């Protein structure tokens, strides 16, 4: 085989790898864009009415976007397109960690709100009983009950 033929095949292989990497990165970007749009829309719903299920669903969108880029980064580790994909993976890892923290924070807030609502309902019921039957409301006991929620 001639030297020029070997060089042509080598150049062709590099060119194909560049084209393949660019195509794969573009495909990954398309998948990621769709997932990130779904995450952004769903995050608004989650923050308005946080539930564990919705939080996990939004997290899955981010993980799918990450997986799309990770595939390119793993397939082309020494290629500029692979390096770009790896950077997107790192960015998405950060976003995933942040959103996991948001999910935990919202779960704690939801639990606290539920406890406050429980005490509110009990106080309203006690006030209604006192108005109906008469008697004094033990304000200090209710104050302590609310303060206990702060802890």
Instruction: Output the six-digit token pair for 85.
Output: 């994909």
pLDDT of 2 above 90: no
pLDDT of 137 above 80: yes
For residues 86-113, average pLDDT? 94
- Indicate the domain borders of the chain: 3-107
Confidence at 101, pLDDT banded by 50, 70, 90: very high
- pLDDT tens per residue, range 43-64: 999 999 999 999 999 999 999 9
What's residue 4's pLDDT? 45
Sign of the dihedral through C-alpha 132, 138, 141, 143? positive
- pLDDT tens per residue, range 139-150: 999 999 989 888
pLDDT of 15 above 60: no
* Helices then strands, each counted (H, E), the chain: 4, 0
The three-class DSSP label of residue 76 is coil
Classify residue 77 by its DSSP letter: T
What's residue 56's pLDDT? 95
**Residue pair 69/93 in contact by the 8 Å Cβ criterion:** no
CA 28 to CA 7: how far, in whole Å?
31
**Residue pair 6/18 in contact by the 8 Å Cβ criterion:** no
For residues 122-133, average pLDDT? 92
What's residue 110's pLDDT? 87
Looking at CATH, the fold of the domain delimited by 3-107 is given as: Methane Monooxygenase Hydroxylase; Chain G, domain 1 (1.20.58)
Q: Taking the model in full, what pTM does it have?
A: 0.70
**Matching residue, tokens 């195509």:** 23
pLDDT of 36 above 70: yes
């Amino acid at each position: 085989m001639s030297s020029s033929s070997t060089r042509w095949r080598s150049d062709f292989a590099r060119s194909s790898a560049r084209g393949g990497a660019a195509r794969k990165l573009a495909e990954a970007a398309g998948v990621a864009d769709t997932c990130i749009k779904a995450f952004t829309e769903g995050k608004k719903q989650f923050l308005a009415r946080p539930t564990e299920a919705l939080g996990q669903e939004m997290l899955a969108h981010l993980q799918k976007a990450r997986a799309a880029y990770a595939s390119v980064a793993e397939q082309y580790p020494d290629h500029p397109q692979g390096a770009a994909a790896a950077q997107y993976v790192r960015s998405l890892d950060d976003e995933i960690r942040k959103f996991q923290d948001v999910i935990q924070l919202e779960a704690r807030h939801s639990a606290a709100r539920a406890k406050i609502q429980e005490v509110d309902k009990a106080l309203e019921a006690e006030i209604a009983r006192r108005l109906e039957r008469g008697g004094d409301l033990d304000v200090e006991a209710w104050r302590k009950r609310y303060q206990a929620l702060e802890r």
